[in-house]
Amino acid sequence: MARTPITQPSLHDSLVRACAAIIVSWFLFPALASAQYVPPTGSWEHRAPVELGLDSAQIREAIEFAQASESSSPRDLLESHYRSFAREPFGEAIGPIKPRGAQTGIIVKDGYIVAEWGEPARVDMTFSVTKSFLSTVVGLAWAEGQIGSADDLVGPYLPPILLPPGDGEPGSESGTGFGARRPVQLFESAHNRQITWDHLLRQISDWEGTLWGKPDWSDRPSDDPNEWLTRERAAPGSTYEYNDTRVNLLALAATLAWREPIQEVLLEKIMRPIGASSTWRWHGYENSWILLDGLEVQVPSGGGHWGGGMFINAYDQARFGLLTTRRYRWGDQQLLPEEWWQRATTPSGPNPGYGYMNFYLNTDRRGFPSAPESAWIHLGAGANMIYCDPEHDLVIVARWIDGRVMGEFVGKVLAAIE
């Protein structure tokens, strides 16, 4: 019996098939995403590693490595603060700081918990992981029309506002005048009026001013004090600088754009839908209170640099990590348009390893050589890490781990995938 000759498909046929596959996957993505397991409120199904294609011995090895790599910083985080950030100008703590727990972690594969250790139910500070919650709240404002575009200038969205004496742009008169405090603008100077929401989200604004008593220059200042007040400002969008005063400015701007506390926005639109516990709290500072439509509202901070920020347990961190890994989709609910996820995971020009705060990207696999380039982490001091890997549908939470070995730890977990 003659065999039918095997022929290679033409380039045209290959392109047609590839396009068809893309079109089919595009239309099927919502159905496939909704079929993925997500933990319901109040419970989370556990699976043995082997059930999901993981080598149990290698998972144990990764956990033992993490536990042996606990941060050497004091568990008393107030002491840790006064060993580090408090040595900066205006470095005193003005928000709550609590002692931390032991090295802790969770590994989530295909939505199921395959391993956990330490104290995952303990509510602890998460420092700059808070920034990823903040950028999500800004995304919600964009999705619901409070912000027209991330590329819009920030200034036109904000009214003059009463702030503590001394806050505002250089030269602004926020002190007393004829017995009354004067409302100030925050984006009125020639430099600051060029700043967009995208600039703030990517930490490339170089905004100049003081907020909650913390001048922008006092955060991680240069070694030369002569530069602190005199350096020439970089054009917005041209230079990356990690700066918590400007992050707190974004939190204030988001509060004014929403016209309600953004803690409540996060609760109603993200944390309740993903089944987070009732134990997390997003704190501000002792002096970060504003009058909002006659009500006194605390503006939360974007991290724990001077205290405050998100206090949260590891389970809730893992739920948030699973949400962003799934492109802000939770079961059959798209909690934030995928377009925002695309922007959040797009590298910034001045820093290709940074998207929207605090999406640390694995561009060119520089951060985690063993991980896919499509992975990223939400990162805070401590170290606090939420590793997000859509390619493997994998989320790893690691708390109070030595930041120098995070990549090695992630590599050990990935090596367990069969």
Question: What count of other Cβ atoms lies within 10 Å of the Cβ of residue 154?
Answer: 25
Q: Are 186 and 167 in contact (CB under 8 A)?
A: no
The answer to whether residue 341 is domain-embedded is no
**In 286-352, alpha helices (H):** 314-325, 338-344
Low-confidence stretches of the chain (pLDDT < 50) are 1-31, 175-176
Query: Which residue in the block uniquely carries the two structure tokens 């991680």?
Result: 220
The residues that bridge with 305 in the sheet, in sequence order, are 307
pLDDT for res 398? 98
pLDDT of residue 86: 87
Q: How many degrees, rounded to 5, is the angle at CA 189 between CA 186 and CA 192?
A: 65
Do residues 150 and 339 touch, judged by C-beta distance below 8 A?
A: no
Sequence-distant (6+) residues with CB within 8 A of 288 are 95, 212, 248, 252, 298, 299, 300, 301, 308
Tokens found for residue 171: 């030269």
pLDDT on residue 377: 98
Domain that holds residue 161: 150-259+286-300
Task: Please indicate, yes or no, if residue 57 is contained in any of the structural domains.
Answer: no
Whether residue 311 is contained in a domain is answered as no
CA atoms 56, 58, 61, 62: torsion sign: negative
Q: Three-state DSSP class for 388?
A: strand
CB contact at 8 A, 58 and 416: yes
In a domain, 214, yes or no: yes
180 in a structural domain: yes
- Sequence-distant (6+) residues with CB within 8 A of 207 are 187, 191, 192, 195, 200, 216, 245, 246, 249
Radius of gyration of the chain (CA): 23
What local confidence, expressed as pLDDT, does residue 28 receive?
Answer: 45
Question: Positive or negative CA dihedral for 82, 85, 91, 93?
Answer: negative
Is there a domain that residue 33 lies in? no
3-class secondary structure, 96 = coil
Question: How many domains would you assign to the chain?
Answer: 1
Q: Which residues have C-beta within 8 Å of that of residue 107, sequence separation ≥ 6?
A: 59, 62, 113, 114, 115, 116, 394, 395, 396, 397, 413
d(CA 69, CA 300): 31
Token reading at 137: 């709240």
pLDDT at 378: 98
User: Which residues are within 8 A (CB) of 59 and not within 5 positions of it... i.e. 6 or more apart?
Assistant: 49, 107, 114, 115, 413, 416
Sheet harboring 309-312: ordered strands across?
Answer: 124-125, 309-312, 281-292, 295-300
Q: Is residue 267 part of a domain?
A: no
Rounded to two decimals, the pTM is 0.90
| Confidence (pLDDT) at 7 | 35
Is the residue at 104 inside a domain?
Answer: no
List of residues 6+ apart from 119 with CB closer than 8 A: 101, 102, 104, 314
